[in-house]
Amino acid sequence: MSNALTLDIPAGMPWIDFTREFDAPVGAVFNAHRDPDLVSQWLGPRGYEMVVERWDFTTGGGYRYLHRNPDGMEFGFRGTFHTVRENDLAIQTFEYDGAPDEVSIDFMWFEDLGGGRTRLHGRSIGRTVEGRDAMLDSGMEKGMAEGYERLDDLVAQAG
């Protein structure tokens, strides 16, 4: 059974907090975020293909990728990595091509729980409360939940 994704969505604020635990060491979870060959195997909803155009998971780096759904529709995303600290923290910007200039800033803390377990805690802050709500309405929670289930499988294979 996989661990649950917990979202905290305060009314009237522009951010979403999330927490997800993994039965895998912090190094494995972090590496699954850093290595584009691994990222493309789990990030996004089930049934989507991820095409990574750029993935430079380093401080000052950036990314661009497409998600292609089973009908062949493509959804593009891009951003910069403000901070990447190994097994600790990633701070990035995030923009969906379909909502131009509605850029969020996303914080992700990687916490070593010991015993080969990891907690991922994140905060995603939109430009407006309405932008945050639109992100939620786009099916963000389902996409995240499915992505992290795929990440469970990926790190289990590696272990």
Residues 33-52 that bind a copy of itself (CB under 8 A): none
- The contact pattern for a copy of itself, residues 15-34, with x = CB under 8 A and - = no contact, is x-------------------
User: End-to-end CA distance of the chain, in Å?
Assistant: 17
| C-alpha to C-alpha distance for 150 and 152, rounded to whole angstroms | 5
Q: Are the beta carbons of 12 and 129 closer than 8 angstroms?
A: yes
Query: For tokens 């377990």, what's the residue?
Result: 117
Strand, coil or helix: 127: coil
Which amino acid would we find at residue 56?
D
Q: Which region among 38-46, 79-87, 134-142, 145-153 touches a copy of itself (by CB under 8 A)?
A: 79-87
Number of residues that bind a copy of itself (CB under 8 A): 22
127 binds a copy of itself, rule: CB under 8 A: yes
Site of interaction with a copy of itself (CB under 8 A): 13-15, 60, 62, 79-83, 89, 91, 93, 95, 101, 103-105, 107, 123, 125, 127
